[in-house]
């Protein structure tokens, strides 16, 4: 299995809703990432987990809350989002601990989020 | 801060070679990457090159690295309609990737 699976593919939510994005990989990767991508822009790093511990938080607002229940799963909990948070949210994983080796990232197909 | 620059668009005829260029600023970068993103999809790694190499070839893809000029290029031979996508260059700087803005490759019949 060489894939990163993200669910749901599309999500529409109101500003008062609570929802979650999910990510799963079974490649034995020990680093997992959340990126946010706006249309026609490069991805922006949000969070990095290394060995199930949060190692990087790129000053992301607290309305985004990551969780890594185990080495295969990564969640992003969403609460009280704003319309400007609408974007494609990409999950990625890499075999190496963040910062070492080639650290090739394997990306999921993304979850497209629309906040009304 | 560190920066990666790419031109935003490249238009080529089907069957021709495409050359996508990228410049970066961090001279201590260890790895440089090319990712492809098709519409509505995630990013797919095409290839990467270690900074002590100057060329890497993989089927239709050739990566050239000029470390002195901090210039990276991706050549796609015999460009096909399926190559239509946005191509992102990225450099590894410290613990994270610094991304270029992406080059949209447009294929003309």
Find the mean pLDDT for residues A69-83.
96
In Å, the largest CA–CA distance within chain A is 42
Facing B42 at nearest CB: one of A90, A98, A99: A90
Q: What is the Cα–Cα distance from B20 to A113, expressed in whole angstroms?
A: 30
Helix (H) or strand (E) holding B87: strand B85-93
A99 contacts on B by Cβ (under 8 Å): 94-95
Predicted local confidence at residue A37, as pLDDT:
97
How does the average pLDDT of chain B come out, rounded?
Answer: 93
Predicted local confidence at residue A102, as pLDDT:
79
Find the mean pLDDT for residues A9-26.
95
CA A48 to chain centre: 9
Predicted local confidence at residue A100, as pLDDT:
65
Cα separations in angstroms, A107 against A66, A76, B51: 17, 15, 23
pLDDT digits (tens, 9 = 90+) for B76-89: 999 999 999 999 99
Beta-strand relationship, B9-13 and B103-108: parallel
Q: Which of B7, B42, B88 should be substituted to probe chain A, the one whose Cβ sees the most A Cβ atoms within 10 Å?
A: B42
Q: What is the Cα–Cα distance from B35 to A46, expressed in whole angstroms?
A: 19
Taking the CA of residue B15 and the nearest CA in chain A, the distance in Å comes to 26
Kindly tell me if the per-residue pLDDT of A74 is higher than 90: yes
B4 neighbors B24 (Cβ within 8 angstroms): yes
pLDDT digits (tens, 9 = 90+) for B9-35: 999 999 999 999 999 998 888 899 999
Q: Which of A34, A36, A42 should be substituted to probe chain B, the one whose Cβ sees the most B Cβ atoms within 10 Å?
A: A42
Give the closest residue to B94 by CA, choosing from B37, B35, B29. B29
Percent of chain A with pLDDT over 90: 83
């Amino acid at each position: 299995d060489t894939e990163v699976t993200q669910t749901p593919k599309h999500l529409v939510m109101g500003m008062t809703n609570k929802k979650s994005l999910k990510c799963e990989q079974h490649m034995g990767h020990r680093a997992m990432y959340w990126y946010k991508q706006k249309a026609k822009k490069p991805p922006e790093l949000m969070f990095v987990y290394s060995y199930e511990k949060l190692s990087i938080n790129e000053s992301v607002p607290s309305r985004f809350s990551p969780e890594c229940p185990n080495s295969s799963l990564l969640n992003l909990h969403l609460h009280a989002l704003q319309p400007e948070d609408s974007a494609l949210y990409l999950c990625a994983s890499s075999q190496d601990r963040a910062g070492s080796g080639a650290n090739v990232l394997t990306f999921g197909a993304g979850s497209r989020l629309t906040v009304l | 801060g560190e920066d990666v620059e790419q031109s935003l668009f490249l238009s080529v005829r089907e069957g021709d070679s495409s050359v996508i260029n990228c410049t970066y600023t961090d001279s201590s970068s260890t790895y440089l990457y090319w990712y492809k993103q098709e519409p509505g999809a995630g990013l797919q790694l095409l290839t990467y090159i270690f900074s002590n190499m100057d060329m890497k070839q993989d089927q239709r893809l050739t990566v050239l690295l000029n470390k002195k000029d901090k210039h990276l290029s991706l050549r796609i031979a015999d460009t096909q309609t399926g190559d239509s996508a946005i191509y992102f260059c990225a450099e590894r700087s410290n613990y994270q990737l610094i991304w270029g803005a992406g080059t949209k490759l447009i294929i003309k019949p």
